[in-house]
Amino acid sequence: MNPIKLVVIEDHELMRFGIGETIKTQRNINLIGEADTALAGLKLVKTLKPDVAIVDLILPDLNGLELIQKLRREHPPIKIVILSAQSHEESVINAFKFGADAYCVKSCKKEKLVEAIYSTIQGEVWIDPGIGKTVIGLLNTNGKLPQKTKIEKSIDCQTHPISLTDREIQILELIAQGEQNIIIAERLHIAVGTVRTHVHRIIEKLEVSNRYQAAVKATKAGWLKPFTDLSDPHISDVGYKEQSKWRNAL
């Protein structure tokens, strides 16, 4: 594939330098521009048309959420990777509601940042596994997202039944645990391509935009068992169905 074109919108020079050094080790990612303010970043994206933008949530001129919203509205194809020191639930949830594709904390290992970039290019939503579990846990606790927006309204539970297969439920549970496709494939003993196909169908059936929204919707509806162990190779589709009487409400 063609090298991924990347820009960084981050006001701390040392952080920009560190990201640049990390990207230098990647043959398939080119860092084509940097900006230290949101407005400069918007101009940069308009001029260079990158594939991915790494964005800090705290910038000197605009709130990072405003920047995400502007990028999503003015440059729909771009993938937005948040790299922030903030790791509390509200920041993560709001970033995704406004249109982010990935969320990394600044304490993450450089390999995780690279993984996030590649995952978004493949159409996946990437969340640091620890953060992902925390966010889904918050939803399990109170059943709603903070500060309701148009994006959240679009993932509100439907009133009519949705037909999900047992395998799709298994995959949704693993997505809700923060797992990526390769790990889901390993745990369910199926091909990564098969996982991608199931995820695509889940997104279509639930009428959402991405896997993260699918997990949120299913969790809010009470369709998932967050602590089910799906790693047991002896759990077949039939066996799982027998354990899934709770799905009768679908």
**pLDDT tens-digit readout, 190-247:** 999 999 999 999 988 888 777 877 887 777 677 776 433 333 333 333 333 323 332 3
In angstroms, the Cα distances linking 242 to 168, 172, 173, 238, 247 are 15, 18, 17, 6, 10
pLDDT of 238 reads: 31
What integer pLDDT is reported at residue 146 of this predicted model?
39
User: Taking the mean position of all CA atoms in its chain, how far away is CA 84?
Assistant: 15
pLDDT at 184 over 80: yes
Higher pLDDT, 209 or 249: 209
**CATH number, domain 154-249:** 1.10.10.10
* pLDDT mean over 174-184: 86
> Does CATH place domain 4-135 in 3.30.465.10?
no
Q: Indicate the range of 73-77, 87-91, 127-131 predicted with least confidence.
A: 127-131
Where is average pLDDT lowest: 18-27, 50-59, 126-135?
126-135
**Most confidently modeled range among 101-105, 174-178, 225-229:** 101-105
Sign of CA dihedral 87, 95, 219, 182: negative
Mean pLDDT (whole number) for 12-16? 94
Domain residue limits, the chain: 4-135, 154-249
Check residue 136 and give its pLDDT. Answer: 61
Band of pLDDT at residue 18, cut at 50, 70 and 90:
very high
Question: 45: exposed, middle or buried (C-beta count within 10 Å: 0-12, 13-18, 19+)?
Answer: buried
How many CA atoms lie less than 13 Å away from 194 in the CB half-sphere? 12
Most confident among 59-63, 126-130, 157-161 (mean pLDDT): 59-63
What's the pLDDT score for residue 163? Answer: 80
Q: Which residue has the higher pLDDT, 71 or 138?
A: 71
pLDDT at 123: 81
* CB 60 within 8 Å of CB 31: no
In 3-state terms, what secondary structure has residue 63? strand
When pLDDT is averaged across residues 44-70 and rounded to a whole number, the result is: 94
